[in-house]
Amino acid sequence: MNFPLTAAIPRKILCVAVLLAFADQPIAQGQSDPGDLARQHFEAAQKAEAAGDLDQAAAEYEAALKVRPQVAEVRTNLGLVYYRQGKNDEAIKTFERALQLKPELLSATLFLGMAYVRTNQYEKALEPLNKAIALNPREHHAYLNLALCYSEVGRPDQALGVLQKAAELFPKDIEVLYELGRVYSDLSEIDPDSYRVHQLIGAYYEARRDTGTATEEYQTAIAKKPDAPDLHYALGNIYWREHQFEKAVAEFQKELKLAPENYMATWKLGNIYLNQRQYELAFQYLRRALHQKPDLPQAHRDLGRALFQTGDNEGAIQELKTVARLAPDESTAHYLLAQAYRKLGMTKEQNAELEIFEVLRNAEQKRSRRPTIMSSGADHQEEPSDPEPPQTR
């Protein structure tokens, strides 16, 4: 697989943080400030790097580190220069030392992984590349390199999962889509008609919003292995989004027989019964979902809505306040809170919640005018609209 292994290399890492680090050292009486000398070398390194003189830049960063060896950002900059020079062993050692000093530095983490890839140390690259994605889930090159590593160590399923996530985040990225196609081809050559291949292809088409093809692939996967977890949930999720509630219920129930811990299937059953005004069943499944996943804001929101619609305004307020805490950008919770306060005659609180609702709704409308990305399967959070009250999307 021919992934691009380089990313845009920053010429400097938060100069303010670096300069503050230079200054954050005690100075003995009568001595000159060594931070001034370190700062001079750092600024000279920046100028040399911007001019393309990488040898001089490296020398200046090294000089700065002799004065202030504990500044992780300067070590990261030095490692980036080594990386650009193709001095991969030196880059690896420098990034590792920077991360010992400050483990959460994104650039050091990402380029440590990429330096391992350059030197064909694919197993070692997995940890820093996964960490880079955790630090910045939109780090494009981390996904490509991580998928390459999984492929090279014989884990094509995981490579495919990484690229599917990248395709959701970057749906028009030609490199991602090209490599995704290559992995599908590789998997198909291994076992072109396995249930797993059909499941993964279904997830790809679902992420691309081709729900017809996704449905066919999930159905084929289920026919081949009906007792595999996640398959019935994935198919039910498509039916749920398309308001085919009877079919969705059947698939979610099948999923829960195989994997009763699937709180997303449990929540969505509660959501369906709420939309159908079957409150007893709605309460049953929503409370079960919250027992399994207490911080699931969608279930708190639906439970609050169910309580509101059945006249328990105080209970609804408690659930909806939880939603506002867990998901501050969720507008529907504030709309429902306003309605519950209105029922209780609490006009001041009602007006405050309506103001928050309007601000959040306006922000959502602005976002909706931009292209959006639909997540697939269990990660998808959007729910079918309910006629009362308005939904967030």
Share of the chain above pLDDT 90, in %: 62
Are 147 and 120 in contact, with CB atoms under 8 Å apart? no
- Cβ atoms of 385 and 177 within 8 Å: the answer is no
Residues 158-197 have pLDDT tens digits of: 998 898 888 888 877 778 877 877 777 776 665 667 787 7
Any idea which residue has 């790809």 for tokens?
204
Range in 128-137, 285-294, 381-390 with the lowest mean pLDDT:
381-390
Amino acid at 276: Q
DSSP 313: H
Among candidate residues 336, 338, 323, 339, the one with its CA nearest the CA of residue 381: 323
Please report, as a single letter, which amino acid is at residue 213.
Answer: T
Q: Say yes or no to pLDDT of 341 above 50.
A: yes
CA pair distance 116, 249, nearest whole angstrom: 47
* pLDDT recorded at residue 176: 83
Provide the 8-state DSSP code for 378. G
| List of domains in the chain | 1-22+35-166 (1.25.40.10), 261-366+375-393 (1.25.40.10)
Upper half-sphere CA count for residue 96 (Cβ side, 13 Å): 11
- Residue 14 confidence class, pLDDT cut points 50, 70, 90: very low
Q: What is the pTM of this model?
A: 0.56
Per the CB < 8 A criterion, the answer to whether 107 and 91 are in contact is no
Q: So what's the pLDDT on residue 310?
A: 97
Q: Among positive and negative, which fits the CA dihedral 100, 104, 105, 106?
A: positive
Top pLDDT among 289 and 374 is at 289
